[in-house]
A and B are shown apart, each in its own frame.
Chain A
Amino acid sequence: EVQLLESGGGLVQPGGSLRLSCAASGFTFSSYAMSWVRQAPGKGLEWVSSLSGTADTTYYADSVKGRFTISRDNSKNTLYLQMSPLRVEDTAVYYCTKDRGGVSEKWGQGTLVTVSS
């Protein structure tokens, strides 16, 4: 069974940093692209970033480009999202997704990031 478990969320001040992690199991992690998708409180889904299985190709939303870095450790079956500097508008639940040809076919339960002073 595919499982995606996000961690690393929390409360951080504007300008601060956080690193999110997503521990994957139940599939051959290195064979799949992975993504982060976020959802601000009471709002819709927003694609954030994607990374190929071999980690040689990255994609970012304009709203986070230059501030967020997506990466993966295939030896640990873990996806990361380094976020800095954070803004109030980055407040959201961040979901990790397992991708297949452009569709986020499996989602984790999400981790909440709150950016506030």
Chain B
Amino acid sequence: SYVLTQPPSVSVAPGKTAIITCGGDNIGNQAVHWYQQKPGQAPIVVIDYDKDRPSGIPERFSGSNSGNTATLSISRVEAGDEADYYCQVWDTTSDRGVFGGGTKLTVL
């Protein structure tokens, strides 16, 4: 089965850029989606189809995807960005949804 690998945690100072990676075999050939989940809340989409921002998501959030790594970047990080972030693909080989293990973003 397809596996997505994320670092368990990332820490960043306010105002800096946070980079969260999502590794998978030839993930560059898949559409990657990123979700933000704050404590006690349901997830929301922050990036879909590798790099598209849904309405209402700040321009500070961006995504890229190439080779074996997809990346979520959050520039000018704010305290309110502290959350768990998950990458996700629909694996067309197995017709299964797949989530990464999640990355806890801590704003120092």
Contacts and interface: CB of A to CB of B under 8 A. Distances in A.
Interface of B is mostly: strand
A109 B42 contact: yes
B42 A44 contact: no
Contacts of B44: 107
Contact of B102 (A44, A95, A101): A44
Size class of the B contact interface (CB-based, 8 Å)? 20 to 34
Task: Name the interface size band of chain A.
Answer: 20 to 34
B99 interface: yes
A76 B14 CA distance: 47
A73 interface: no
Interface of B: 1, 31, 33, 35, 37, 42-45, 48-49, 54, 84, 86, 88-90, 95-102
Interface of A: 35, 37, 44-47, 50, 59, 61-62, 95, 101-105, 107-110
